[in-house]
Chain A
Amino acid sequence: MCRQALEGVKIADFTWAAAGPLTMSYLAHGGATVVKIESGTRSGASRSFPPRGGEGGMISSMMFSNDNSDKLSISINMKNPRGVEVAKKLVLWADVVAENFRPGTMEKWGLGYAELKKINPSIIMFRSSARGQTGPDSKVAENGITLQSLTGFTSLTGYPDKNDPTPPWGAYTDLTAPALGAVMLIGALDYRAKTGKGQCLDLSQLEAGLQFLAPAILDYHVNHLCARRMGNASSYGVPHGVYRCSGNDRWCAIAIFDDREWKAFCRIMDKPEWLDDPRFATAIARKKNESELDHLINEWTVKHPVEEIMNLLQDNNISAGIVENSADILNDPQIKERQFFEKLEHPHLGSFFHHGVGFRLSKTPCNPRTPGPILGQHTEHVCRELLGLGKDEYENLVDAGAFT
C-alpha cells in the first residue's frame, strides 16, 4: 500500500471520551501508530456511547469504532506497578504522549511531564483539557455540553423571539478543538525533528473554542455590542435562512448576498415587480422587511421539492442547499463521490460507515482503514512487536496482572 503522511510517528494515547480521541484520529488516519491505552476495569466512557450494535452491552458502541478507527488498543491496569512499568516502556517508545484527563490525573499516576521527560527527554506531551492545565478553574469537571455553554456557543444558537437559547446539538467544543490540537502536535513534531527538543502542549478547549467566536469578541471589546442569537438571519445577507419545502420536514437553506443574486432570484421566483418594490428593491429595504420577505419566499418554496429549489438556484449561481438529514448525508452524491465515509468490517458489530477526514492529500491517503479496536485487542502485538518484549517477559506481565 501507499505510504502515509504521518507514517513512523509513534503515539502513546491516553485520551478518552471525545475531544482527545478525535484529535488522535487525525493522526491515526494520517498514518501515525496510535496506541490507545485503556483499562479493562474502567474502560472509556465512549465505549458505551450510542448507537450500539451487535450483542449490545457496554462495549458495543459503533460511535467508539468511528472515533477510534485506525488505532491500536492495549489495556493496562494502572493500579498495578507492573502495569505502570508497561506504560513507562510505551513512553520510552513514543514520540508523543497524549491525554485529556482532568488536570492532575497523569501526575497522580507518576506520568506528569516532568516524569515523562526523565524517561524520554525528547518526549512531546499533548494535553487537552476543558480550561487548560493552569489557572483557578483548571480542575473543574466539564463535558462538551457544559463547555459549549461556557464558551458562548449556546447563547448564540436559537431564535431571537424566544427567551431561551436552543443549544447546538452534540458537544460542540469537542468538535472545534481537535483539528487545532492535531495541528499543534504536528508543529511540535516538526520542531523536534529540527532541534531534538520535545515539549508540553497545553490545549484548553475553552480557548480553542473562542477562536471560532473571535469577531463577536472583538465587537464586544471595541463596540460593547454583545452578540445575540438571531435564528438563521445574517447581519447582512437577506434573505438568509431556511425555507420550508414540500414534503415532510423538508427545508432549503437560501442566502442572497448581493444585487446580482437578488435580481436573479426575483427572476427565478417570477417576481420581477419586486425589483421596483420599495419594500425589497435595496438590501437595506429587504433587511427592514425581512420577515415579510421570508414569509413570501416560504409561500414559493413550500410548493416545490427541496431538491428542485436547490438545483434551480444553484444553476443561477445562488447559494442554496438542502437541510440534510442523516439519510440525505449518507445518500449525498458528492459525499459518495469523494468517499467521505468508509465502510469497515467490525468483528463484533458488522460492516458500517466510518467518518473520514475533510481533506484529501494527493500523494498520501488518509481514509480510515481499520475499525476502532476491541478493548485490549492489540495488547500482545504492542508488547511484542512495538516494545520488543520477549515471549517470557510478556507472559510474566500477564501473570502479574499488568493487563486487565
Chain B
Amino acid sequence: MTNQKQDKNMGALGPYRVLDLTDEKGFLCGRLMADLGAEVIKIEPPGGDPGRSLPPFYKDDPHPEKSLYYLAYNASKKSITLDIETTDGQDIFKKLVKTADFVIESYRPGHMDNLGLGYEDLSRINPRVVVTSISPFGQTGPYRNFHSFDLLCSAMSGHMFITGDPDRAPLHISLPQAYLLGSAEALMATMAAHYYRRKTGLGQHADVAIRDAMIKTTVNTVPMWEYKNEITKRGGVFWTLRGEKQRVLWPCKDGAVSFGMHGGGFGAKTNRELVKWMDSEGMASDFLKTIDWENLDMETATPELYNELSDAILRFFQTHTKKELAREALDRGVMLSPVQTVADISESTQLEARDFWDEVEHWDLNVRIRYPGAFIQITETPCLKTTRAPHIGEHNEDIYIRELKMTSEELAILSGARVI
C-alpha cells in the first residue's frame, strides 16, 4: 500500500478499501470516506440493514430500498450481505479483512470480540488494518453497555440542558444529530490512525464515543461550572454565551433572523454597519450613533444599556422581511442570517453557484434525486460525485464471485443458510 499510483479522479483516498459494518450510528463516516474516493463496502445482514427502515421514505412508501435516511448516508457505497455471526460469514469476512485498509463498526462494545472479530483478531490477519469502533459511550468505562438512542447521547453530552425554552423541557435538534457528529469524529479518528500507519506500517484500534464528540457543543459551559460554579440554563432565544443574556433570534416582518450582538473587536464592524443602515432609514438614535463599539464589553455592559440597544434593533428588524434583511446585510457586511428551512436552502443561489448539489439517477425509482454534494472542495483530488446507495447485496456478485472466486452454487448454499 505504500507505493500505489493513482490518477486524481480517484479522490484522495482512491487506493483504499473500507469494510463498513455500521448501523445508523456510523453511516456518515463511510459515506464521507466514499466521497473522498475510498471503496466503501457496506456489509449488511441478510435481508438488509435495519437502517433501511428509517423514515423519511421516497414518496412516503416504507420500503427497504426507499428510506431517504438510508439513501442519504449510504450513497456512494457498495453493498454485500453477510451474517458475520455465522462461521461461514466469519470465514468470508476474514478473507475480506485481508484486502481491507479500514473496518468501521458500531455494534455494542465487545460484540466483535465475542465473535472472534475484535481488533486483536483482525490485526493478526492484517496487521495494517485500522479498526474504528463507534459507540455511544466508548468501549470502556461504566456506561459502555448503556442502552442508548440518538437523543440520549445529546442529553448526556450537556447540549440539551442548555438548548430550548426556559419553561419547557431540554431540547434536541428535531433531526437527530448525535450519531452524525459521532460519525464525523470517527472519520477524524480513522484518518489520524491512517496517517500513523503510513509512517509506521502499524494499524490500530480507534475507539470513538459519540457522546464525547457531542460535548464540544456545550462550548464554554463546563468551565463555567468548573471555574465559577455556574450552571448555564436554557434561555430560548436569549443565550448567556458571552456571559450576559443576549438575544440571538430576532423577529422580523415575516419570520425571524439570527443576529448576535457581540462586543469588542469581534462585533464592532457589524454593529457599526448595522447602525449606519438603521440611520439611513432614520431609525438610529443619537445614543446608538455615539457608542464606541470597539470598547463595548458585553460581559460587563449593564442590562439597561443592552436593553436600549436591543430594543432599537428589534424595532428596526420588524420593519423588514427576511429576504430584505438578508440581501442588505450581505451588501453591508452585517453578520445576519434569515432562519432558513430546507426549502429555502434548496433554492440557494450560493449553493447553485458553487455546484454543490449532486443529481443522482435512481433508475429503479425512475427519478433523479438531488443530494448534498462535496463536503469540501479540493483542487487536486475533488470529492467524487455522489452515486446511488446500493440495493441490498447489489455487489455480492462483484465481491464474492469475481473477487473471492466463489461459485454461484456456493452463494446459493450460503443464501439458503442465511449467511448472505
The interface of chain A, by Cβ under 8 A from chain B, is 234-238, 257-260, 262, 275, 281-284, 287
Q: Is the beta-carbon distance between B413 and A238 smaller than 8 angstroms?
A: yes
Chain A residue nearest to B88 in the complex (CB): A282
Chain A at the B interface: SS class: loop
Which of chain B's residues 377-420 have a Cβ closer than 8 Å to chain A?
406, 409-410, 412-419
A-B residue pairs in contact (CB < 8 Å), sample of 18:
A235-B412, A235-B413, A236-B412, A236-B414, A238-B413, A238-B417, A259-B86, A259-B417, A260-B86, A282-B88, A282-B91, A283-B88, A283-B413, A283-B417, A284-B413, A284-B414, A287-B410, A287-B413
B85 CB–A CB distance under 8 Å: yes
Q: Is the beta-carbon distance between A258 and B417 smaller than 8 angstroms?
A: yes
Chain B at the A interface: SS class: helix
Q: How far is the CA of A262 from the CA of B83 in the complex (A)?
A: 15
Chain A residue nearest to B46 in the complex (CB): A258
User: Which residues of A have CB within 8 Å of B416?
Assistant: 234-237, 257
| A-B interface, 10 closest residue pairs, ranked by CB to CB distance from nearest | A236-B416, A259-B86, A283-B417, A282-B88, A258-B418, A236-B413, A283-B88, A287-B413, A284-B410, A282-B87
Q: How far is the CA of A284 from the CA of B411 in the complex (A)?
A: 9
Q: Is the beta-carbon distance between A258 and B413 smaller than 8 angstroms?
A: no
User: Which residues of B have CB within 8 Å of A257?
Assistant: 416-418
In the complex, what's the smallest C-beta–C-beta distance from B128 to chain A, in angstroms? 26
User: Which residues of B have CB within 8 Å of A283?
Assistant: 86-88, 413-414, 417, 419
User: Which residues of A have CB within 8 Å of B419?
Assistant: 258-259, 283
In the complex, what's the smallest C-beta–C-beta distance from B109 to chain A, in angstroms? 23
Q: How far is the CA of A237 from the CA of B88 in the complex (A)?
A: 13
Given A236-B415, A258-B418, 17 further pairs, Cβ under 8 A: A235-B412, A235-B413, A236-B413, A236-B414, A237-B416, A238-B413, A238-B417, A257-B418, A258-B86, A259-B85, A259-B88, A259-B417, A262-B87, A275-B87, A283-B413, A284-B88, A284-B410
Chain A residue nearest to B86 in the complex (CB): A259
Q: How far is the CA of A8 from the CA of B415 in the complex (A)?
A: 49
Contact bitstring B127-150, A, C-beta under 8 A = 1, else 0: 000000000000000000000000
User: Which residues of B have CB within 8 Å of A236?
Assistant: 412-417
Chain B residue nearest to A223 in the complex (CB): B408
User: Which residues of A have CB within 8 Å of B87?
Assistant: 259, 262, 275, 281-283
Q: How far is the CA of A255 from the CA of B370 in the complex (A)?
A: 48
Greatest chain A CB density within 10 A among B85, B87, B91, B415 is at B87
Chain A residue nearest to B416 in the complex (CB): A236
Q: How far is the CA of A80 from the CA of B91 in the complex (A)?
A: 78
Q: How far is the CA of A259 from the CA of B412 in the complex (A)?
A: 15
Greatest chain B CB density within 10 A among A258, A262, A282 is at A282
Q: How far is the CA of A238 from the CA of B88 in the complex (A)?
A: 13
Contact bitstring B283-306, A, C-beta under 8 A = 1, else 0: 000000000000000000000000
Q: How far is the CA of A281 from the CA of B86 in the complex (A)?
A: 10
In the complex, what's the smallest C-beta–C-beta distance from A190 to chain B, in angstroms? 29
User: Which residues of B have CB within 8 Å of A262?
Assistant: 87
Q: Is the beta-carbon distance between A237 and B412 smaller than 8 angstroms?
A: no
Which of chain B's residues 78-108 have a Cβ closer than 8 Å to chain A?
83, 85-89, 91
Which of chain B's residues 43-89 have a Cβ closer than 8 Å to chain A?
83, 85-89
Which of chain B's residues 23-39 have a Cβ closer than 8 Å to chain A?
none
User: Which residues of A have CB within 8 Å of B91?
Assistant: 281-282
User: Which residues of A have CB within 8 Å of B412?
Assistant: 235-236
Chain A residue nearest to B408 in the complex (CB): A223
Q: How far is the CA of A258 from the CA of B87 in the complex (A)?
A: 10
Q: How far is the CA of A275 from the CA of B410 in the complex (A)?
A: 19
Q: How far is the CA of A287 from the CA of B87 in the complex (A)?
A: 14
In the complex, what's the smallest C-beta–C-beta distance from A289 to chain B, in angstroms? 12
Q: How far is the CA of A284 from the CA of B413 in the complex (A)?
A: 7
Chain B residue nearest to A256 in the complex (CB): B417
Chain B residue nearest to A284 in the complex (CB): B410
User: Which residues of A have CB within 8 Å of B83?
Assistant: 259
Greatest chain B CB density within 10 A among A258, A260, A262 is at A258
User: Which residues of B have CB within 8 Å of A281?
Assistant: 87, 91
In the complex, what's the smallest C-beta–C-beta distance from B157 to chain A, in angstroms? 38
Greatest chain B CB density within 10 A among A235, A284, A287 is at A284
Chain B residue nearest to A236 in the complex (CB): B416
User: Which residues of A have CB within 8 Å of B410?
Assistant: 284, 287
In the complex, what's the smallest C-beta–C-beta distance from A294 to chain B, in angstroms? 15
User: Which residues of B have CB within 8 Å of A235?
Assistant: 409, 412-413, 416
Chain A residue nearest to B415 in the complex (CB): A236
Q: How far is the CA of A257 from the CA of B418 in the complex (A)?
A: 7
Q: How far is the CA of A105 from the CA of B412 in the complex (A)?
A: 48
In the complex, what's the smallest C-beta–C-beta distance from A256 to chain B, in angstroms? 9
Q: How far is the CA of A283 from the CA of B415 in the complex (A)?
A: 10
In the complex, what's the smallest C-beta–C-beta distance from A344 to chain B, in angstroms? 43
User: Which residues of B have CB within 8 Å of A284?
Assistant: 88, 406, 410, 413-414
